[in-house]
């Protein structure tokens, strides 16, 4: 047999109407139907017809609750004139429950107001006509049982359903927000990985390409003595080897972070300004002279600032070697007050300088800007008085104004 919840609203209405009709027939056949003294002796067929009419209206109890109440009011009124019968009033009390339960919020409130007004009017009529307080108490009991109880129960079920729907919507909203947060976290992690791949691995590989170019130039230079040429070539190849090893170690660490478990062995510490000499030596091997100037008191920098400054310097030197090969570069590090000022400056290449032959992905400036802004700093890059200037101002205290 199909489950009740799997039935359509119309099918459920028919099932309830049939069940109510059968129960009403049982009460009529047993003679248990009089709620008050019978005013008019009606044939049994009339009583059955009134029961069938109000049960027919019950078919619409969930789909059209207001229409069911209006249609059911006709046999209810006739039954009231003949003498109220229990089966008809039981079915109509179910229609009252359905009106509050399935109707709109406005319809439910209107029904509650109308029922309260009619109940008060009924009390008044009974008191004026009879003046009997005992009959007034019986009327109150009857109205409470057939009107008040179904309305209260329907309202309570409706409120519980509204709360359940609100909780379900809230749970769905929380799930949606959690999914959006997860996607944002994944996107942020992918951006971070792309930035690190560009800054770390691409920087090493660009240095290798530039130094290989310098090595090829030395091998073709027949004007310099062989011993001096071999010495310079040896220094370039040593730098190429150092950059290759560094790139492999950085790649190994990044792959280890992507695995479910860490790779065996010790991890490599991220680049810090204390390792600046490696960048300067690598640039020298590629034919770029770097003049370093430090100022400000020697102080321990925050790890995030130290690492970001190192990566910015690395990318700036790589870009200088790519786009202005052979020109000197000035690197300035100034840690004063609550900020670290990083400035990399090199003359713009003129027509006498050969264009770089190493490819560029075009992500260097964006990566340096992202690193700076993630720490709440300011970044600038562009030409100034015949030089190309890259500058980053990094706060040394969290929350320092930019």
Q: What is the pLDDT of residue 391?
A: 93
Of the pLDDT bands very low, low, confident and very high (cuts 50, 70, 90), residue 355 is very low
Order of strands across the sheet with 378-384? 290-295, 329-336, 339-347, 387-395, 378-384
Q: What is the pLDDT of residue 380?
A: 92
Indicate whether 93 pLDDT > 70: yes
- pLDDT above 70 covers a percentage of the chain that reads 73
d(CA 246, CA 360) in angstroms, rounded, equals 20
d(CA 46, CA 52) in angstroms, rounded, equals 10
The burial class, CB within 10 Å (0-12 / 13-18 / 19+), for 229 is middle
For the chain, the three-class secondary structure string (H helix, E strand, C coil) is CCCHHHCCHHHHHHHHHHHHHHHHHHHHHCCCCECCCCCCCCCHHHHHHHHHHHHHHHCCCCCCHHHHHHHHHHHHHHHHHHCCEHHHHHHHHHHHHHHHHHCCHHHHHHHHHHHHHHHHHHHHHHHHHHCCHHHHHHHHHHHHHHHHHHHHHHHHHHHHHHHHHHHHHHHHHHHHHHHHHHHHHHHHHHHHHHHHHHHHHHHHHHHHHHHHHHHHHHHHCCCCCHHHHHHHHHHHHHHHHHHHHHHHHHHHHHHHHHCCCCCCCCCCCCCCHHHHHHHHHHHHHCCCCEEEEEECCCCCCCHHHHHHHHHHHHHHHHHHHHHCCCCCEEEEEEEECCEEEEEEEEECCCCCCCCCCCCCCCCHHHHHHHHHHHCCCEEEEEEECCEEEEEEEEECCCCCCC
Among 101-110, 220-229, 343-352, 366-375, the range scoring the smallest mean pLDDT is 220-229
What is the chain's mean pLDDT, rounded? 79
Q: Which token pair is 52?
A: 């069938």
Of the pLDDT bands very low, low, confident and very high (cuts 50, 70, 90), residue 37 is low
d(CA 194, CA 201) in angstroms, rounded, equals 10
pTM of the full structure: 0.48
Of the pLDDT bands very low, low, confident and very high (cuts 50, 70, 90), residue 228 is low
d(CA 22, CA 51) in angstroms, rounded, equals 10
Mean pLDDT, residues 394-398 taken together: 79
Among 107-111, 162-166, 252-256, the range scoring the smallest mean pLDDT is 252-256
Indicate whether 361 pLDDT > 90: no
Of the pLDDT bands very low, low, confident and very high (cuts 50, 70, 90), residue 222 is low
Of the pLDDT bands very low, low, confident and very high (cuts 50, 70, 90), residue 95 is very high
Mean pLDDT, residues 126-133 taken together: 78
Of the pLDDT bands very low, low, confident and very high (cuts 50, 70, 90), residue 282 is confident
Ramachandran sector of residue 376 (left: φ over 0; alpha: ψ -120 to 50; beta: rest): left
Mean pLDDT, residues 230-256 taken together: 68
Q: What is the pLDDT of residue 351?
A: 46
Q: What is the pLDDT of residue 141?
A: 84
Higher-pLDDT residue of 353 and 72 is 72
Q: Is 340:301 a contact under the CB 8 Å cutoff?
A: yes
């Amino acid at each position: 047999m199909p489950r009740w919840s799997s039935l359509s609203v119309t099918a459920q209405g028919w099932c309830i109407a049939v069940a109510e009709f059968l129960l009403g027939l049982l009460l009529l056949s047993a003679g248990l139907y009089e709620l008050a003294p019978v005013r008019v002796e009606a044939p049994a067929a009339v009583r059955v017809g009134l029961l069938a009419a109000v049960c027919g209206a019950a078919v619409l109890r969930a789909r059209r609750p207001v229409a069911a109440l209006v249609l059911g009011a006709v046999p209810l009124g006739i039954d009231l004139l003949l003498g109220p019968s229990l089966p008809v009033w039981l079915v109509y009390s179910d229609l009252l429950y359905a009106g509050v339960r399935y109707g709109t919020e406005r319809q439910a409130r209107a029904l509650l107001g109308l029922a309260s007004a009619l109940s008060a009017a009924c009390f008044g009529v009974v008191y004026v006509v009879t003046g009997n307080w005992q009959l007034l108490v019986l009327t109150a009991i009857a109205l409470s049982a057939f009107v008040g109880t179904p309305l209260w129960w329907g309202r309570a079920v409706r409120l519980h359903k509204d709360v359940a729907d609100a909780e379900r919507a809230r749970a769905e909203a929380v799930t949606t927000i959690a999914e959006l947060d997860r996607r944002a976290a994944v996107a942020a992690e992918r951006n971070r990985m792309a930035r690190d791949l560009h800054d770390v691995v691409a920087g090493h590989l660009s240095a290798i390409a530039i130094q290989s170019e310098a090595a090829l130039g030395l091998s073709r230079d027949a004007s310099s003595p062989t011993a001096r040429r071999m010495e310079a070539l040896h220094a370039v190849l040593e730098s190429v080897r150092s950059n290759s090893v560094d790139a492999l170690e950085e790649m190994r660490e990044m792959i280890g972070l992507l695995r479910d478990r860490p790779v065996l062995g010790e991890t490599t510490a991220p680049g810090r300004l204390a390792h600046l000499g490696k960048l300067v030596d690598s640039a020298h091997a590629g034919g770029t002279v770097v003049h370093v100037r430090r100022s400000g008191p020697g102080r321990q920098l925050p790890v995030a600032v130290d690492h970001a400054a190192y990566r910015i310097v690395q990318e700036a030197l790589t870009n200088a070697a790519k786009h202005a090969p052979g020109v000197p570069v000035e690197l300035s590090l100034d840690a004063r007050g609550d900020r670290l000022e990083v400035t990399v400056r090199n003359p713009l290449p003129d027509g006498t300088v050969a264009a770089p032959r190493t490819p560029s992905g075009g992500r260097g400036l964006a990566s340096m800007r992202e690193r700076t802004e993630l720490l709440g700093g300011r970044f600038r890059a562009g030409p100034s008085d015949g030089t190309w200037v890259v500058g980053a101002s990094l706060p040394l205290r969290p929350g320092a104004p930019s």
